[in-house]
Amino acid sequence: MSTFWRRPLDADRVRPPHGEVLILADRCKGCEFCVEFCPKDVLAMSKDFNRKGYHPPEVVKSGVCMACNLCETICPEFAIFTTTTPESPPAAALPAPVLEGVAP
């Protein structure tokens, strides 16, 4: 199905931001907001306990985060944030259009 995705016209120039999620596990109270609303489903609840006895989130898909900061903004405990990593992969990771009769 991915071959039918639209390819942005500026895909060769724009590099999608790439982020890294940092979790302050001991501040977390396990409300699951970040896990529920992450648009890339980067996070999942961990089976481990933190110092308070809650399950903090953990990163299950590395390299997918786009540093949108939604987890950071929605976290009521100020326990998670993202940093933009300098070595962003180029947009070539996007699927190329393979529609017939259309020049790539």
- Interface residue list for other proteins (CB under 8 A): 21-27, 29-33, 36-37, 54, 56, 58-59, 70, 72-78, 81, 83
Which of 45, 94 has the CB closer to other proteins? 45
For residue 3, give the DSSP letter: G
Buried b (16+ CB within 10 A) or exposed e, 31-42: eebbbeebeeeb
Computed from CA positions of residues 55, 73, 70, 61, in that sequence, does the dihedral angle turn out positive or negative?
negative
Report the DSSP beta bridge partners of residue 83.
20
**Minimum distance, C-beta of residue 16 to other proteins, in the bound complex (Å):** 19
**Minimum distance, C-beta of residue 50 to other proteins, in the bound complex (Å):** 9
Which of 12, 26 has the CB closer to other proteins? 26
**Minimum distance, C-beta of residue 24 to other proteins, in the bound complex (Å):** 6
